[in-house]
């Protein structure tokens, strides 16, 4: 005969069961944001003629990806093109092109991630080196934030893949930008990358200025409405430049480690770039990573696949832009993940509020 539990022990057991249930439900909630990078506006040299040197995504391209169930687009552009002179107003014509594209995306119900695609540099000078100071970077973001403040379907991605900049220097710049964004009254969700291309595989590795996984815990947001943005590719060197996915296991381990890190530190994460070729081994690895994110929605806010865009050639290994009316093989996996069950509507609505 089993001994009966005392009341305190029964209550503790019930509490533990509820906690396990809550964690399980959170893990299975799924990611809010599922989408793609629509690249092209970051092409060319600053000052190039629009739609000759660079191009924003077309209405047709936007409609295609929305039809696949995607609800988010990461939109790369050049800092120098939007702000030709540091500390000066944004270029009106370029800002209009950016806003017009945001409006097109919004028509299809898509959330937009604004992405200054500059690798922590302005006119080839790194942030932290005069005249591209942390203050200059923050001033740029203050101007941009004002234009999109209060638009919950617009997410602020601080910077694409900072590199060749020490982690502590980058943290100072990121925090300066966050402070100025919030000072404008903008409460939009902010995505904060680390340095060293913000690789998930290297997040906890030591480097100049310290490891991202340690240093970036110093991010300070008065609104506490931010997530860490990481990138991860599936080839052997995690660069995304090879068609073979010999780094499948490494990529999955990196994403798994990010999940553990985020949960340990009560953080949220977003996979801003990842991509594979049409190789069967690659699409299998892609499916595994997307399944992991879907099953760990308590920490993973979402993902945007790299890459698509009207000007990307069919020969580009990672490209999922359709050609001649045919879907790329990666799209089969992406569409399934995009159409997977979403969290409760209220949960996703409050993420960017």
What topology does CATH give the domain 31-351? Answer: TIM Barrel (3.20.20)
Confidence band (pLDDT; 50, 70, 90) for 313? very high
Is the pLDDT at 170 greater than 80, yes or no? yes
What's the whole-number mean pLDDT along residues 241-245? 87
pLDDT of residue 350: 60
Q: Which of 25-29, 247-251, 301-305 has the lowest mean pLDDT?
A: 25-29
Q: What b/e sequence results for 110-137 when a residue is b if at least 16 CB atoms lie within 10 Å of its CB, and e otherwise?
A: bbbbbbbbbbbbbeeebbbeeebbbebb
pLDDT of residue 353: 60
Active site residue 273: yes
Of 22, 273, 314, 316, which one is the catalytic site residue? 273
Is the pLDDT at 223 greater than 90, yes or no? yes
pLDDT of residue 238: 83
pLDDT of residue 164: 98
Active site residue 22: no
pLDDT of residue 242: 86
Confidence band (pLDDT; 50, 70, 90) for 6? very low
pLDDT of residue 241: 83
pLDDT of residue 5: 41
Is the pLDDT at 351 greater than 70, yes or no? no
Is the pLDDT at 346 greater than 50, yes or no? yes
What is the per-residue pLDDT across 122-164, written as a single tens digit (0 to 9) for each? 999 999 999 999 999 999 999 999 999 999 999 999 999 999 9
What is the per-residue pLDDT across 9-38, written as a single tens digit (0 to 9) for each? 444 433 333 333 344 444 547 999 999 999
What is the per-residue pLDDT across 180-220, written as a single tens digit (0 to 9) for each? 999 999 999 999 999 999 999 999 999 999 999 999 999 99
pLDDT of residue 239: 83
pLDDT of residue 224: 97
Of 22, 161, 264, 281, which one is the catalytic site residue? 161
């Amino acid at each position: 005969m089993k001994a009966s539990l005392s009341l305190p022990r029964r209550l503790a057991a019930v509490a533990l069961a509820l906690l396990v249930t809550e964690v399980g439900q959170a893990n299975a909630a799924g990611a809010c944001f599922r989408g793609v990078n629509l690249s092209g506006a970051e092409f060319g040299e600053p000052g190039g003629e629009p739609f000759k040197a660079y191009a924003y995504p077309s209405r047709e391209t936007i409609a295609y990806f929305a039809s696949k169930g995607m609800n988010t687009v990461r939109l790369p552009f050049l800092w120098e093109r939007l702000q030709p002179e540091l500390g000066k107003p944004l270029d009106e014509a370029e800002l209009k092109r950016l806003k017009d594209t945001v409006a097109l995306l919004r028509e299809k119900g898509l959330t937009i991630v604004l992405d200054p695609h500059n690798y922590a540099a302005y006119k080839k000078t790194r942030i932290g080196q005069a005249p591209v100071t942390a203050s200059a970077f923050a001033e740029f973001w203050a101007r941009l934030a004002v234009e999109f403040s209060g638009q919950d379907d617009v997410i602020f991605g601080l910077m694409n893949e900072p590199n060749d900049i020490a982690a502590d220097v980058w943290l100072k710049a990121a925090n300066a930008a966050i402070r100025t964004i919030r000072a404008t009254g903008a409460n939009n969700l902010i995505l904060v990358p680390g340095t060293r291309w913000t690789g998930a595989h290297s997040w906890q590795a030591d480097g100049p200025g310290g490891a991202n996984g340690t240093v970036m815990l110093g991010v300070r947001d008065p609104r506490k409405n931010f997530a860490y943005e990481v990138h991860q590719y599936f080839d052997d060197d995690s660069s995304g430049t090879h068609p073979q996915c010999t780094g499948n296991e490494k990529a999955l381990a990196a994403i798994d480690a990010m999940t553990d890190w985020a949960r340990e530190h009560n953080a949220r994460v977003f996979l801003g770039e990842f991509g594979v070729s049409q190789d069967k081994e690659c699409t299998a690895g892609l499916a595994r990573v997307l399944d992991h994110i879907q099953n760990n929605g308590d920490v993973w806010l979402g993902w945007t696949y790299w890459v698509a865009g009207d000007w990307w050639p069919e020969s580009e290994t990672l490209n999922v832009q359709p050609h001649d009316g045919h879907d790329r093989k990666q799209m089969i996996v992406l569409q399934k993940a995009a159409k997977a069950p979403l969290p409760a509507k209220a949960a996703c609505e409050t993420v960017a509020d």
